[in-house]
Structure 1
Amino acid sequence: MGLFRSMQVFVATVQEGSTSAASSRLGISPAMVGQHVASLEERLGTRLLNRTTRRQSLTDFGKTYVEQCRDILERVAIAEQDAEAAQAEPRGQLKITAPTTFGTEVLMPALQRYRALAPEVTLDITLTDRNVDIVDEGFDIAFRIGELPDSRLIARRLAPYRMMICAAPAYLSQRGHPDHPADLANHEAIGFTPAARSPWKLAKGNEEVEVSPQIAITVNSGQAVRTAARAGLGVIMQPAMLVGSDIKAGLLVQLFADWHLRERSMSLIYHRDRRMTPRLRSIIAFAISEFGTASDE
């Protein structure tokens, strides 16, 4: 007899409370129900049910085994539902959260391409630099910069967050062009809160430099940092995705292009136990394709 079918019959027998009730539910004879349970007991080498002419009860091992059977049957059912859902059109709402700068400058423009792939999916997007608890706050996925300590989450690595140091031509004309990262100690900088006071770390070959510019202004918006730099208020260290277009347009000048700045990891995260619906599967696949991948966590 098939092990999986015997598990189904055993669970039904326990749920219904008797062999005859289980046989009616399953559409098989009481004798066949008894054979399935006996087959399991023979396979396991121990009794699962205590039987009398009037009643049945689970043995101590039977109590443990029936819960294990229920778990297995539930997992198989979910797998079958997921396989069926994989063929379905993505639809419904996705709740997404992302850092403000990444969300504004990168994610939002890219979503036009996602909407073309999944037109029946609606998007509820929250942009914040706070580390949102996606489980407690009901988000489907989050784009996260930095480390990921929460074991409840699955993380898919994306391309790292590359940083650049730059300043406006007007600022450099007034204050001079720093030739070495150590020169930044004599320059004013615009800091992004909350990392404004953290030192800037650069490396070239075997040389490593850690420098703390004079923070003249701190602000909690990457876009505001960029605007302040373009106005000539100081040197900034910001993501390449934010300042790249300004550098190409000559509004900002990249400093120390031959130096390496420490990159920050970026990941797409979602709940470990979240059912893989077509819409969730579609946004994960899109994000990995659109924003690049590294090894998974």
Structure 2
Amino acid sequence: MRLPDLEAWATFATVADHSSFSAAATAMGVSKATVSKAVARLEASLGQSLFHRTSRRLTLTEAGKPLAERAQRMLAEAVAAEEAAHDAASAPAGRLRVAAPMTFGVTHVAPLIAEFLAAHPAIEIELALSDARVDIVAEGFDVALRIAELPDSSLRARRLRSVASHIVAAPAYLERYGTPRHPGELGDHRLLGYTNVTGPWRFRGPGGAEVAVRASGPLAANSGDSLMPALIAGLGIARLPDFILGDALNDGRLTEILPEWRPAPVGLHLLTPPSPLRPARVEALIAFLSERLHD
């Protein structure tokens, strides 16, 4: 049996990740010539070009794109296998990259990360907060928290809890435009939309009745927090979760409407790359976050 050229595959994955032969050589601690020869060797073995090369840019060919994803998974699993063997004989250590939604990350995740680091002084964490959906594998994240209904994918996912949302408006808005008594009336109102969640607003009400409403209004944003000033100023109605609404409901700046028609809750999920091999530091963080963020 002819064994695969694993060194060439690993080199190809690193070049694809850095989009540069020079940057890949620096990351690997070898010469640029060594990197070029390894990629050329792999291209010769496969009988096809993996990169488009110009004086200014290096891009993957159509054939190279799916192969790069496989090569990066191969490299990640090899690294994880080595780290797992090392971790078995030592305390969790090393660097972790964690992704989380912006507001939930600030209010819920960041305090837990501080607690986790205090208990694991040999671990370092890079916490990336964004409401955009990140590509965990391509961007090199070890763990991601995502509040959404997940599409089918190869990622490993664990549902931790449900996140409830509320339909809210400022008293000034309701005084000016009236209070809707049924979700079907929302179509006549000014709705503030959250663009990272596509599709209509879905409700379940008395007797199991279901209603869907398309959000349309003066403001749509990819951050729930950015809707709050317009919402409190009385410019519309919004659907937002507890961790964004904060004290605005309790102190009267906002009023919940349609309380008998609940928006469908979404799940808080913990995602990891598809490889079943995970270093001890990743397993430690997964166990910690799962315990603390579970219902």
TM over 0.5: yes
Among 128, 132, 135, the residue aligned to 2:134: 132
1:174 aligns with 2:173: no
TM-aligned CA deviation for residue 96 of structure 1: 0.8
When residues 282 and 245 of structure 1 are mapped into structure 2, their CA distance, relative to the original with a 3 A threshold, is farther
**Residue in structure 2 matched with residue 23 of structure 1 by the alignment:** none
8 Å contact from structure 2 (residues 193, 216) kept in 1? no
Residue 241 of structure 1 aligns to a residue whose secondary structure is helix
User: Hey, what does 2:200 align to over in structure 1?
Assistant: 199
> What aligned pairs does 1:88-237 form with structure 2 within 5 A after superposition?
88-144=90-146, 145-151=148-154, 153-195=155-197, 198-204=199-205, 205-237=207-239
CA shift in 2, pair 1:256/1:244, >3 Å: farther
Shift of 1:89: 3.0
Q: Is the 8 A contact 2:116 2:288 kept in 1?
A: yes
Q: Residue 21 of structure 2 aligns with which residue? A: none
Amino acid at match of 1:126: A
Q: Distance in 1 between matches of 2:248 and 2:115?
A: 24
Provide the TM-score with structure 1 as the length reference: 0.64
CA drift of 1:273 comes to 2.1
Q: How far did 1:164 drift?
A: 1.2
Give the CA deviation at 1:99: 2.4
Query: Is residue 2:250 matched to residue 1:248?
Result: yes
- Aligned with 2:140: secondary structure? coil
Residue matched to 1:284: 286
| Structure number with bigger Rg | 1
* Deviations 1:234-278, CA, capped at 9 Å, x for gaps: 100012221143212222111122222112233111123264323
Aligned to 2:161, the other structure's residue is in SS state strand
Contact 1:187–1:213 at 8 Å: present in 2 too? no
Cα RMSD of the aligned pairs, angstroms, is 2.8
- CA shift for structure 1 position 149: 2.4
Could you tell me how far 1:148 is from its partner in structure 2?
4.0
Cα offset for 1:202? 1.0
User: Does residue 265 in structure 1 map to residue 267 in structure 2?
Assistant: yes
1:245 and 1:86, CA in 2 relative to 1: closer, same or farther beyond 3 A?
farther
1:64 alignment partner in structure 2? none
Structure 2 spans left out of the alignment, 5+ residues: 1-77
Contact map agreement 1:186 1:214 (CA 8 A) in 2: no
Equivalenced residue count is 216
Identity %: 33
2: distance between equivalents of 1:270 and 1:194?
21
Q: How does 1:10-89 map to 2 (within 5 A)?
A: 82=84, 85=87, 88-89=90-91
- The Cα of 1:84 is off from its aligned counterpart by 7.4
Report the TM-score, using the length of structure 2 for normalisation: 0.64
CA contact (8 A) 2:132 2:196 kept: no
Measured after TM superposition, the shift of residue 82 of structure 1 is 4.4
Structure 1 runs of 4+ aligned residues shifted over 6 Å read: none
Deviations, residues 3-23 of structure 1 (Å, cap 9, x unaligned):
xxxxxxxxxxxxxxxxxxxxx
5+ residue gaps in structure 1?
A: 1-74
2: distance between equivalents of 1:228 and 1:107? 26
